[in-house]
Structure 1
Amino acid sequence: MLLVAPDEASLPQRAELEATLKELATTAGLGFEVSPVLTPANLTPGLKLVVVLPPDPGLAGLTEAAPDTQFLAIGVPGLTPGANLSLISPGGFPADQMGFLAGYLAAVVTPEWRVGMVGVSDTEPGVQTRQGFLNGVEFFCGLCQQTYTPFYTYPMYVELPAAANPTEWQAAADVLVDKAVRTAFIAPGAGDEALLAYLAGAGVQLIGTSSPPPEAQDQWIASITPDIISPLIAIWPELLAGNGGLSRPASLTIGDINPELFSSGRQRLVEKMVESIASGVIDTGINQTPVSP
């Protein structure tokens, strides 16, 4: 089995995915290799399965060149299932859903709903993550008015272009700190680990989309990531049997939970929201744009 993981593929759960695939391959008696590229030269006789992360290496042609090999594309948009091509989250990972869930979670755990977000201003997924966040907060708390000073309008957000430098991100974060934000969601592509450490040091509790660095651990509420492991395990027997043409969505999952900041009762409430979003019972109110891994 071959995992094609380009260097630029910052897919959530990537490390867990690689470990899971290695374990599944070993159990099935298959070899396991990782490559940053996929070319016809990789498609050796006897190769049973190829798992591909974004971007698309040209799967339309590669699947035709190796009809006896099963291919699984994860988070790669623009593809259609075929005889030897299966898909997980073919539309990417909806930015609005991630933002909505983060906003809802932030409102659930934060006194007086003093919540904010650090986001990316110059990408469509960034904009829709922000709008989803605002909608998610307001879904829970409505007008989100405070009882005690200081009185500010929440939820609030700060945004910068994706290419902003660390000093600029810190200055943006200072706006939230100065406005008494208690919980901040750090959207995909916003800032770096230094920003997380800075906010944590300022006493801001954090929600992110990857595991926290050690410096932010104590202030980390939870991480929101797409669950690509569950659908992989569900279709694994079919892939081993040589059955393609499958397509499965990737719902969101909550991990890296700090029980001191996110109680079990509130966890159950947020898990119900995860299920409602996945089933379509609750809509974010935004046209979906995928988050590029």
Structure 2
Amino acid sequence: MKTKKKLHWTPVTIAQAVVTGLTLLFLLAPVVQMVLTAFMKNAFRGPKAGWTTDWISKVLELYGDTIIRSLGIAFGTLVITILIGVPCAWVLVREERRRWAGLLEEALILPLSIPGLAIGLGILLIWGGWGEFRQSNLFILCGHVMFCLPFMVRSVVAVLRVEPIAAYEEASATLGASPFTTFMRVVVPVAMPGIIAGGLMVTTVSLGEFNISWMLQTPDTRTLPVGMADAYASMRLEVGSAYTFLFLVILVPLLTLMQSLPERIRRRMAEKRSK
């Protein structure tokens, strides 16, 4: 039976606790204030003015389409990055000793080092003249896929590189499985922790991505972050805060999953292997 170790408070640990507490206060105080403002009848009068949910209703009325659109784009980005990123990661791991594999990996992560505005400008210069495509949500989806794909590739590569994937594939081929069957029933399950981690990261990044979305948007294709900026710029402070509150309601559960789910999957896989 394990016993919990008691924490011995020394001047060093006390100082560490104080610094940690002050840091958390510094980070969380604006968020708490924003949440409170979202439910205040009048932000300038403060709690004395009373509380209301009217601002939440107003955001859903004025910007509900941006929330639905962002969720759809995030889901589309997730599906496409999985379909492209997992095979790419598998190839990179299998061929990592070849020079072209290193160049390909660098090319795939290049969008992370380029400002979103520059990526958006490049997409505009190449495909901006395609009228119907330019006016559709697919235009923004392309930008999100380009920006988010490296997160999926790197997450899956990190998992596959610590597994004896070549031995698994060889065993599968010895049993008569086709390359496609081996990929779907061996590689994908082994890579699942990376797919889950990468998928959650892709979803959260896509939902919160502003620069590319702002560069590529039209009045009919605004996304959640762009709508949030518009709410703060042209509406009451309470409306912008309510919009941000709804954004957190969507984003915080995803961030929680991103922290806990991959580790749970690794534990379950380790337990299955040990049986």
Q: Flag whether TM exceeds 0.5 (same fold).
A: no
| Higher normalized helix content (fraction of residues) | 2
Q: Larger RCO: Structure 1 or Structure 2 (Cα < 8 Å, ≥ 6 residues apart)?
A: 2
The two structures have a TM-score, normalised by structure 1, of 0.25
The two structures have a TM-score, normalised by structure 2, of 0.27
